[in-house]
């Protein structure tokens, strides 16, 4: 059941429309749980598009197992998706800094307020992001510590490799996730893959996780796969940030998700004009590389990767 949850006229004869597809059981019951799959707040992050498609395809195959409501919002920033733009084109605004919005406010404040109204009350929301065009991420859920008691058990059921709990001081209050968590609608922020691409294996992993979560919530009574046990990071010092010491072209040496020893080479920063290696990016200690630079051109200070320290990962 497709519904337009917000529509505003644009200056020249076009309409900005945000759409939701609601999937209901064949025989709806009185009190059903609701899971909402939200993506496309950043128009250049497309990993969630596959998740929306594949989740619906698999529900349709065993529709009789559906016992709750699944709401799919594939394009919260449709103008951004259509024009390969991260923010809202023409306005030059990051949509994820406009929440909770204002129903009587400007056009965009109205749109985000309508999104808030529509998603609020869900029993669980997944807000699927895909890093950006510069960095690739292993499937992870990011949570702020204010809401960890409610969100960590849900995140553990979602088949991600990593749960990253942030301190309250780093929380951005104007995000979709914060605004909904603040009013009691639980939102898990998923980061996986890379901007402008679809990584099918990650999408499949996430869809398995969503079915597992749905089963736990009483929305699905079919077979589900068992889920990965995620590593949980609770302290800022669990993570090392690797930055470029020099500008150049980055040639990676390892895959992200790899467990590395101290001083291993993650990649080289090279000078294509002179054919020289300018620097090697090395691991400062043992750990798992959960983020790696994807976009090759770097400047001094560019983020090249993030390493989760070995003692947090708990591997031998």
Smallest gap from residue 40 Cβ to Zn ion (A): 9
Which residues, 227 to 256, sit near Zn ion by CB under 5 A?
none
Closest CA to 307 of 275, 269, 264, 271: 264
| Binding region for Zn ion (CB under 5 A) out of 11-19, 61-69, 128-136, 161-169 | 128-136
Number of residues forming the site for Zn ion (CB under 5 A) = 3
Smallest gap from residue 129 Cβ to Zn ion (A): 3
Residue pair 117/174 in contact by the 8 Å Cβ criterion:
no
- Using CA atoms, how far residue 50 sits from 53, 61, 267, in Å, is 5, 17, 30
Smallest gap from residue 45 Cβ to Zn ion (A): 5
| Secondary structure class of 178 (helix, strand, coil) | helix
Dist CA 32 CA 54 (whole Å): 22
Residue nearest to Zn ion (CB): 129
**Of residues 111 and 269, the one with the C-beta less far from Zn ion:** 111
Token digits for 91? Answer: 């306005």
**Of residues 190 and 288, the one with the C-beta less far from Zn ion:** 190
**Of residues 129 and 212, the one with the C-beta less far from Zn ion:** 129
Dist CA 80 CA 85 (whole Å): 5
Smallest gap from residue 86 Cβ to Zn ion (A): 8
Token digits for 45? Answer: 């992050």
**Of residues 108 and 278, the one with the C-beta less far from Zn ion:** 108
Which residues, 44 to 103, sit near Zn ion by CB under 5 A?
45
Token digits for 127? Answer: 């807000």
| Binding region for Zn ion (CB under 5 A) out of 23-31, 34-42, 112-120, 295-303 | 34-42
User: Cα torsion for 111, 107, 19, 219, to the nearest 10°?
Assistant: 0
| Binding region for Zn ion (CB under 5 A) out of 3-11, 39-47, 115-123, 182-190 | 39-47
| Secondary structure class of 2 (helix, strand, coil) | strand
Closest CA to 94 of 126, 132, 147, 121: 132
- Using CA atoms, how far residue 255 sits from 51, 252, 277, in Å, is 23, 8, 20
Q: Does 42 bind Zn ion (CB under 5 A)?
A: yes
The binder of Zn ion chosen from 129, 166, 256, 293 (CB under 5 A): 129
Q: Does 142 bind Zn ion (CB under 5 A)?
A: no
Q: What residue ranges bind Zn ion (CB under 5 A)?
A: 42, 45, 129
């Amino acid at each position: 059941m497709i519904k337009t949850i917000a529509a505003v006229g644009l200056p020249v004869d076009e309409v900005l429309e945000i759409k939701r597809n609601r999937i209901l059981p064949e025989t709806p019951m009185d009190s059903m749980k609701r899971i909402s799959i939200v993506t496309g707040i950043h128009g250049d992050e497309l990993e969630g598009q596959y998740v929306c498609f594949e989740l619906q395809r698999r529900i349709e195959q065993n529709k009789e197992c559906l016992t709750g409501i699944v709401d799919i919002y594939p394009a919260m920033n449709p103008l951004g998706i259509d024009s390969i733009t991260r923010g809202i084109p023409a306005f030059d605004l990051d949509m994820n800094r406009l929440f909770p919005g204002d129903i009587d406010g400007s056009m965009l404040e109205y749109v985000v307020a309508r999104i808030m109204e529509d998603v609020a009350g869900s029993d669980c929301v997944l807000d699927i992001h895909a890093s950006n065009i510069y960095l690739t991420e292993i499937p992870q859920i990011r949570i702020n510590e204010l809401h960890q008691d409610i969100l960590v058990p849900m995140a553990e059921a979602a088949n991600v490799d990593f749960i990253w709990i942030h301190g309250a001081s780093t929380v951005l209050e104007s995000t979709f996730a914060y605004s909904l968590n603040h009013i009691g609608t639980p939102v898990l922020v998923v980061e996986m893959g890379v901007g402008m691409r679809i990584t099918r294996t990650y999408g499949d992993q996430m869809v398995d996780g969503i079915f597992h979560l749905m089963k736990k919530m009483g929305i699905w009574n079919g077979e589900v796969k068992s889920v990965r046990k995620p590593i949980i990071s609770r302290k800022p010092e669990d993570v090392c940030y690797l930055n470029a010491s020099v500008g150049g072209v980055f040639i990676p040496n390892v895959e992200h998700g790899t467990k590395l020893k101290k001083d291993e080479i993650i990649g080289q920063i090279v000078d294509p004009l002179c054919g020289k290696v300018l620097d090697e990016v090395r691991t400062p200690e043992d750990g798992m590389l959960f983020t790696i630079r994807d976009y090759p051109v770097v400047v001094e200070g560019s983020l090249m990767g993030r390493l989760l320290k070995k003692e947090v990962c708990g591997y031998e």
